[in-house]
Amino acid sequence: MTALLTVGAAAAQGGDPYLYLRTPNAAITARVTGDSVSGPDLQLSRDGKTLRGRAFGQTVFLGLNGQELGGTVGRELTRMSFEDDHGVTRARGSFYGRLSELNLSKDELTGTVGPCSYDLKATKDGSYVGSRSCGGVPERPVILDIPPALTKQGTGMTLATLALILGVP
């Protein structure tokens, strides 16, 4: 959790309420307010310990329980656990029906979610920039902006939302 709060503080420089993922072939944008994330591809809301809604045409129903999240994304079972390890939030488990591992700190975001692998480094403005590969040629540049409003929703909500957008090729 400390790593995600640090990430939120680093991203707070701009105070932008939007979550962005830009690749050479796609752009995903969602507005983060209170306990919801909404945009053309995402309509998610957190109600207590439940995250539900739609993401990329798939129904999302995830339970957030302490250091775990579990449920379904579309027809695929999802179960991930997460922990803070010396300023790095590490998430491991299954997402989009595949083994996934995501490491997030104020300095970098690395790992694999669904079919996509990421190697992103933090910039001075709080964005993450680098490359990804979704089973083909690596794509560059990939830019990810995480708004402070998302990290304020807690580690489970932040990781689930990031995994939803990062796991889409």
Structure confidence by residue, pLDDT tens digits, 5-51: 445 444 444 468 999 999 998 999 999 998 999 999 999 999 888 99
> How far apart (Å, rounded) are the C-alpha atoms in residues 78 and 136?
24
Question: So where are the chain's domains?
Answer: 2-166
What does the pLDDT read at residue 10? 44
